[in-house]
C-alpha cells in the first residue's frame, strides 16, 4: 500500500515538471501565472501524499501554510498586473 | 476495502493529469483557466478522500491527526482556488488580452472604460 503512494507522489512530481515547462514556454505574463497557480495546488496535494508516506502530519501542515501564502502571492501578482497597465 | 483506496487515488491522479494536458494544449488564457482551476480542485478532493480511507484502514497513532489536517488542507484548496482564478481572469481582461479566435471583441469597450476609470 505504501508503494502506491510513492508511485502517485512520483506522478504528481512529473506533472509539476510539465507545468514548469509550461511556465518556461508561454507567450505572456497571465498565462505564466495560471501555470504557477496550478503548480501551487499540485504541491499541496504532493505534501499530503508525502505526509501519508512518512506517517507524519507535519508535511500536511507545511502544505496548508504553503497554500495560504501562495494564494496571497497570486492575488498580489494579479493586482500588480492591473496597476502596471494603468 | 483496500480496492476503494486504489480507485479513489486513480481517479484523483487521472483528473490531475487531465488538468496538465489541458494546460499544455489549450490555446489562450481563458480556456486554460477553465482547465486549471476546476480539475485540480476536483483531483485534490479525490486524493484527500483516498488518504482518509487509507488512514481509517491503517489506524495507528498518527491516523486521526492526518485525517483532520488533510481535511483542513482540502478546505484551504477549495476556498482559495476559485478566488485566485477570478483574480487572474480579471487581471488578464484589464491587461488587454483577447480571447482566442475572436473577430469582434464585445468586451473591448468595457476594457477601455475600466482603464479610463483607473487612470
From the list B7, B2, B16, the residue with the least C-alpha distance to B77 is B16
Decide: B84 and A73 in contact? Cβ < 8 Å.
no
pLDDT tens digits along B3-15: 999 999 999 999 9
The total number of structural domains that make up chain A:
1
Chain A residues with CB inside 8 Å of B44's CB?
41, 44-45
| Under 8 Å between Cβ of B94 and A78 | no
Helix and strand counts by DSSP (H, E) for chain B: 4, 0
At B62, phi and psi to the nearest 5? Answer: -90, 0
pLDDT of residue B67: 92
State the complex-level ipTM: 0.88
- A52 vs B contacts (CB less than 8 Å): 51, 54-55, 66
**Residue A85 DSSP class:** H
Selecting from B6, B69, B80 the residue whose C-beta is nearest the C-beta of A57 gives: B69
Q: Does B54 touch chain A (CB under 8 A)?
A: yes
- What pLDDT band is residue A29 in, cutting at 50, 70 and 90? confident
Does B85 contact chain A (CB < 8 Å)?
yes
Burial class (CB in 10 A: 0-12, 13-18, 19+), B71: middle
State the residue range of the domain holding A81. Answer: 2-85
Q: Which cell goes with B37?
A: 482551476
Distance CA A10, CA B13 (A): 11
Confidence of residue B119 (pLDDT cuts 50, 70, 90): low
Residue (of A48, A31, A64) closest to B30 by Cα position: A31
pTM of the complete model? 0.89
Amino acid at each position: 500500500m505504501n508503494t502506491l503512494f510513492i508511485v502517485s507522489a512520483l506522478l504528481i512530481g512529473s506533472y509539476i515538471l510539465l507545468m514548469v515547462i509550461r511556465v518556461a514556454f508561454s507567450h505572456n505574463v497571465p498565462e505564466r501565472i495560471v501555470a504557477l497557480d496550478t503548480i501551487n495546488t499540485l504541491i499541496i496535494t504532493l505534501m499530503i501524499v508525502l505526509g501519508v508516506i512518512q506517517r507524519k502530519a507535519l508535511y500536511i501542515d507545511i502544505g496548508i501554510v504553503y497554500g495560504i501564502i501562495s494564494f496571497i502571492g497570486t492575488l498580489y501578482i494579479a493586482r500588480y498586473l492591473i496597476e502596471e497597465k494603468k | 476495502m483496500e480496492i476503494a483506496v486504489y480507485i479513489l487515488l486513480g481517479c484523483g491522479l487521472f483528473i490531475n493529469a487531465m488538468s496538465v494536458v489541458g494546460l499544455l494544449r489549450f490555446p489562450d488564457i481563458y480556456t486554460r483557466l477553465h482547465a486549471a482551476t476546476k480539475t485540480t480542485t476536483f483531483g485534490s478532493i479525490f486524493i484527500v478522500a483516498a488518504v482518509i480511507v487509507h488512514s481509517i484502514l491503517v489506524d495507528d497513532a498518527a491516523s486521526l491527526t492526518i485525517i483532520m489536517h488533510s481535511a483542513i488542507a482540502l478546505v484551504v484548496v477549495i476556498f482559495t482556488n476559485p478566488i485566485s482564478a477570478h483574480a487572474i481572469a480579471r487581471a488578464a481582461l484589464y491587461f488587454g488580452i483577447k480571447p482566442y479566435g475572436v473577430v469582434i471583441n464585445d468586451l473591448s469597450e468595457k476594457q477601455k472604460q475600466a482603464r479610463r476609470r483607473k487612470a
